[in-house]
């Protein structure tokens, strides 16, 4: 395997929970949105991060591009810890790290024409003169499946799928190395989802990109990812190559996610069905993160948090049931 392009080590982010008097008093406790997450993304790889809404996957993605400031941990990009860099030191690196949002429209200035929206990142990063920038805008419009005709249009004139294509174009125009895709197809019709995913994968190959693909939909993540990390309550509970994860699912939470996919070839593994809501992981939370919803939970699960450990080559899981399996 190639060396990691990005390494996240023991990332933590918590938010205060205040009592009924609000911010007049110190927080009652904290919600641990990300609680010691570690993962690696390799060059030209698509890493899928999957889990229910609120599990901390978007906070993780936003931490990489400095939209969220983590409390602890390291984010190493080509050896530099992004969290320790000043804004001036980060600026040249941020050209390599771009993000595609679920709702790209809300991240665009509605008064700007599409040509201006796409030219702006080139101006910020001082890439090319006016003629060269215009040439690059026309080129990227074609690459993402829009045409040069869109140069003078406004983003509100586009359909949902076209807006996401524009979001991809804006992320790619400065030729980044890693794209964080935060639920980029969740708001789209299924047929449009497939088109956008195909556009992303073909551009990834053409431009040698790495992708961190964040989604709550394990079916979509399976379609696009080479490796998958399953996240629950701020931490990884299982990680493996995509084929291995689906062939030898270990963690009960991953099994529950698979059971929720409306695809009969996958849904036959309905061993675990998710019930109830995921709890809030406060400072007082103990034991396995999944114990409140796991049908196999024992007394040990309520008090001892299992470590994420390698059970088979490249396949990690955090479950007491898997302990010993890797020692055989
Ligand atoms: Fe379920 Fe216990 Fe495994 Fe957690 S450690 S997933 S509660 S069996």
**pLDDT, tens digit, for every residue of 113-141?**
999 999 999 999 999 899 999 999 999 99
Q: Between 130-143 and 160-172, two packed helices, what is the crossing angle to 10 degrees? A: 130
Are 132 and 278 contained in the same domain?
A: no
Q: Rounded to two decimals, what is the model's pTM? A: 0.91
- What is the pairing mode between strands 235-241 and 309-312? unpaired
Element of type H or E holding 14: strand 4-17
Residues 277 and 283 sit within 8 Å (Cβ to Cβ) = no
Determine the distance separating the centroid of ligand 1 and the alpha carbon of 255, expressed in angstroms.
12
- At which of 145, 175, 205 does a domain end? 175
Do 149 and 119 share a structural domain?
yes
Residue having the nearest C-alpha atom to atom 5 of ligand 1: 319
Residues 312 and 247 in one domain: yes
What is the token pair recorded at 245?
A: 């994860």
Give domain status of residue 322, yes or no: yes
Whether 106 contacts 117, CB under 8 Å: no
Q: What percent of the chain has pLDDT over 70?
A: 95
Mean pLDDT is highest, among 9-13, 264-268, 277-281, for: 9-13
Residue 1 forms part of a structural domain: no
With respect to residue 16, please indicate whether it lies within any of the assigned structural domains: yes
Residue closest to 240 by CA, chosen among 168, 309, 146 = 309
| pLDDT for residue 328 | 36
CB of residue 291 inside a 6 A radius of ligand 1: yes
CA–CA distance, 152 with 200 (Å, rounded to integer): 24
Which residue do the tokens 């899981």 mark? 317
State the Cα–Cα distance between residues 311 and 327, nearest whole angstrom.
Answer: 8
The CATH number of the domain where 249 resides is what?
3.40.50.300
Tens digits of residue pLDDT in 9-37: 999 999 999 988 888 888 889 999 999 99
In a domain, 101, yes or no: no
Q: What is the mean pLDDT of the chain?
A: 91
Average pLDDT over residues 262-271: 58
* Of 109 and 240, the one with more pLDDT: 240
Number of domains in the chain: 2
Co-location of 168 and 19 in the same domain: no
Point out the domain boundary residue: 143, 175, 207: 175
- The answer as to whether 210 is a domain residue is yes
Residue 102 lies in a domain: no
- What is the model's pLDDT at position 190? 84
d(CA 156, CA 176): 26
What pLDDT is stored for residue 317 in this prediction?
A: 97
pLDDT level of residue 276 (50, 70, 90 thresholds): confident
Do 274 and 291 share a structural domain? Answer: yes
Mutate-to-test residue for ligand 1 from 250, 252, 302, highest number of ligand atoms within 8 A of CB: 252
- The pLDDT of 60-81, averaged and rounded, is 94
Q: Coil, strand, or helix at residue 5?
A: strand
Residues 114 and 87 in one domain: no
Q: Which two tokens stand for residue 178?
A: 């890693």
- Domain coverage including residue 76: 6-96+176-327
Mean pLDDT within 168-180: 95
Report pLDDT for 235.
96
Q: In this structure, is residue 146 part of a structural domain?
A: yes
Intra-chain end-to-end CA distance of the chain, in Å: 25
Q: Separation of 322 CA from ligand 1 center, angstroms?
A: 9
Give Cβ neighbours of residue 35 (< 8 Å, ≥ 6 apart).
12, 14, 56, 233, 234, 235, 281
224 and 79 assigned to the same domain: yes
Same domain, 185 and 171: no
Among 155, 175, 195, give the residue marking a domain's end.
175
Cβ neighbours, 10 Å, residue 184: 29
pLDDT of residue 81: 94
The 10s digit of each residue's pLDDT in 192-241 is 899 999 999 999 999 999 999 999 999 999 999 999 999 999 999 999 99
Ligand 1 contact, 194 CB (< 6 A): no
Residues 80 and 15 in one domain: yes
Residue 246 and residue 258 in contact, taking contact as beta carbons nearer than 8 Å? yes
* Sheet strands side by side (includes 315-317): 97-100, 178-182, 210-215, 46-50, 227-232, 235-241, 315-317, 309-312
234 in contact with ligand 1, CB cutoff 6 A? no
Residues 84 and 146 in one domain: no
If you measure from the C-alpha of residue 189 to the centroid of ligand 1, how many angstroms do you get, rounded to a whole number? 35
With the most atoms of ligand 1 within 8 angstroms of its CB, the residue from 321, 322, 325 to mutate is 321
62 and 136 in a single domain? The answer is: no
Q: How far apart are CA 94 and CA 99, in angstroms?
A: 10
* Claim to verify: residue 122 and residue 262 sit in the same structural domain: no
**pLDDT tens-digit series, residues 202-212:** 999 999 999 99
């Amino acid at each position: 395997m190639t060396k990691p392009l990005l390494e996240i080590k023991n990332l933590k982010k918590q938010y205060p929970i205040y009592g009924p008097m609000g911010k007049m008093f110190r927080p009652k406790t904290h919600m641990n949105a990300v609680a010691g997450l570690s993962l690696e993304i390799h060059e030209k790889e698509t890493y899928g991060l999957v889990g229910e809404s609120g599990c901390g996957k978007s906070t993780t993605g936003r931490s990489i591009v400095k939209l969220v400031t983590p409390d602890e941990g390291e984010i190493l990009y080509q050896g530099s810890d992004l969290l320790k860099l000043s804004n001036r030191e980060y600026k040249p690196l941020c050209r390599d790290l771009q993000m595609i949002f679920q709702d790209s429209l809300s991240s665009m200035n509605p008064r700007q024409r599409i040509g201006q929206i796409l030219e702006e990142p080139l101006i910020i990063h001082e890439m090319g003169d006016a003629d060269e920038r215009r040439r690059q805008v026309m080129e990227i419009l074609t690459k993402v499946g829009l045409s040069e005709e869109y140069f003078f249009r406004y983003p509100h004139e586009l359909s949902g799928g076209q807006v996401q294509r524009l979001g991809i174009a804006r992320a790619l125009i400065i030729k980044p190395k890693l794209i964080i895709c935060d639920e980029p197809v969740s708001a789209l019709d299924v047929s449009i989802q497939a088109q956008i995913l195909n556009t992303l994968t073909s551009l990834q190959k053409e431009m040698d990109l790495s992708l961190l693909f964040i989604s709550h939909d394990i079916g979509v993540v399976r379609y696009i990812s080479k490796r998958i990390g399953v996240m629950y309550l701020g931490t990884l509970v299982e990680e493996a190559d995509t084929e291995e994860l689906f062939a030898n699912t270990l963690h009960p939470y991953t099994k529950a996610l698979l059971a929720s996919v409306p695809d009969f070839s996958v849904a036959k593994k309905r061993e675990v069905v998710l019930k109830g809501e995921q709890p809030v992981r406060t400072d007082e939370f103990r034991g396995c993160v999944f114990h409140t919803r796991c049908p196999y939970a024992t007394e040990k699960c309520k008090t001892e948090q299992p470590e994420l450990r390698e059970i088979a080559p490249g396949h990690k899981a955090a479950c007491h049931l898997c302990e010993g399996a890797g020692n055989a």
